[in-house]
């Protein structure tokens, strides 16, 4: 029954917060548009080993190692705080 889980949103723990993957990516890349966030989330979903691996991939994205093309353009800079 594939429809039993359709429409449910998974929450992932990262940086002390439990949120959907897209919201974590929006926090990391606040200047990215919805299409860019969609493709980033899709890429993470495809390369993750399991749900626990998402936190490792989010850390790589946060450090600029996973999406270097977006890092310069949209990444949140902690030095700005």
Q: Which residues contact 57 (CB under 8 A, 6 or more apart)?
A: 44, 47, 48, 66
Q: What is the pLDDT of residue 1?
A: 43
Is there a contact between 28 and 55 (Cβ–Cβ < 8 Å)? no
Q: What is the pLDDT of residue 77?
A: 54
pLDDT one digit per residue (tens) for the chain, 81 residues: 445 556 788 999 999 999 999 999 999 999 899 999 999 999 999 999 998 899 999 999 988 888 877 765 555 555 444
pTM over 0.75: yes
Q: What is the pLDDT of residue 24?
A: 95
What is the DSSP secondary-structure string of 1-59? Answer: -GGGSTT---EEEETTEEEEHHHHHHHH-TT--HHHHHHHHHHHHHH-SSTTHHHHHHH
Strand partners, 17: 14
């Amino acid at each position: 029954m594939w429809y039993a889980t359709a429409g449910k949103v998974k929450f992932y723990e990262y940086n002390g917060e439990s949120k959907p993957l897209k919201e974590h990516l929006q926090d990391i890349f606040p200047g990215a548009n919805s299409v860019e966030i969609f493709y980033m989330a899709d890429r993470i979903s495809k390369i993750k080993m399991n749900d626990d691996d998402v936190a490792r991939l989010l850390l790589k994205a946060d450090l600029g190692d996973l999406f270097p093309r977006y890092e310069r353009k949209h990444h949140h800079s902690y030095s700005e705080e």
